Amino acid sequence: MKRISYLVKREAYDIKAKVSFRSIAEWSVKFSKKCRIYYGFVFCFFFLHSAFCISSSLPPATEILAQVRESLPREALLIKGQILSGGRLGKLERVCYIEMSLDFGADPAIVHYKISDTFGTPLEQMTISMSEGGETEYEYETGNPFKSAPAPQPTGVIRDTDVTWNDLSLLFLWRSDGRTAREENLRGRDCYILEFPRNEGGIQSVWIDMQMLVLIQMEELDCGGRLQRRMIVKNIKKISDQWMIKNLEIRAYPSLHHTLIRVDEVIPM
Q: What is the pLDDT of residue 242?
A: 64
Question: pLDDT, tens digit, for every residue of 128-145?
Answer: 999 887 789 999 999 989
- On whether both 185 and 69 belong to a single domain, the answer is yes
Residue 232 lies in a domain: yes
- On whether both 94 and 162 belong to a single domain, the answer is yes
- On whether both 16 and 80 belong to a single domain, the answer is no
Residue 143 lies in a domain: no
Question: Which residue range(s) make up the domain with 12?
Answer: 1-57
- On whether both 9 and 67 belong to a single domain, the answer is no
Q: What is the pLDDT of residue 26?
A: 54
Q: Residue 51 CB: number of other CB atoms within 10 A? A: 11
Q: Compute the distance between CA of residue 172 and CA of residue 182 in angstroms, rounded to an integer.
A: 17
Q: What is the pLDDT of residue 216?
A: 95
Q: What is the pLDDT of residue 217?
A: 96
- On whether both 197 and 176 belong to a single domain, the answer is yes
Q: What is the pLDDT of residue 256?
A: 85
DSSP secondary structure code for residue 164 in this structure: B
Residue 52 lies in a domain: yes
- On whether both 171 and 214 belong to a single domain, the answer is yes
Is 157 in contact with 163 (CB distance < 8 Å)? yes
Q: Collapsing DSSP states into helix, strand and coil, what is residue 62?
A: helix
Q: Residue 61 CB: number of other CB atoms within 10 A? A: 23
Residue 15 lies in a domain: yes
- On whether both 43 and 82 belong to a single domain, the answer is no
- On whether both 2 and 95 belong to a single domain, the answer is no
Please identify every stretch of the chain with a pLDDT value under 50, giving residue numbers as ranges. 1-21, 24-25, 27-29, 31, 34-35, 37-55
HSE-CB for 159 with a 13 A CA cutoff: 22
Residue 11 lies in a domain: yes
- On whether both 51 and 74 belong to a single domain, the answer is no
User: Which domain CATH number covers 79?
Assistant: 2.50.20.10
- On whether both 19 and 67 belong to a single domain, the answer is no
Q: What is the pLDDT of residue 25?
A: 44
- On whether both 79 and 189 belong to a single domain, the answer is yes
Residue type, 110: I
The continuous run of DSSP H or E covering 181 comes out as strand 179-186
Residue 126 lies in a domain: no
Strand partners, 72: none
Residue 73 lies in a domain: yes
- On whether both 90 and 221 belong to a single domain, the answer is yes
Q: Compute the distance between CA of residue 33 and CA of residue 202 in angstroms, rounded to an integer.
A: 41
Q: How many independent structural domains does the chain possess? A: 2
Residue 112 lies in a domain: no
**Apex CA 107: angle with CA 103 and CA 112, to 5°?**
35
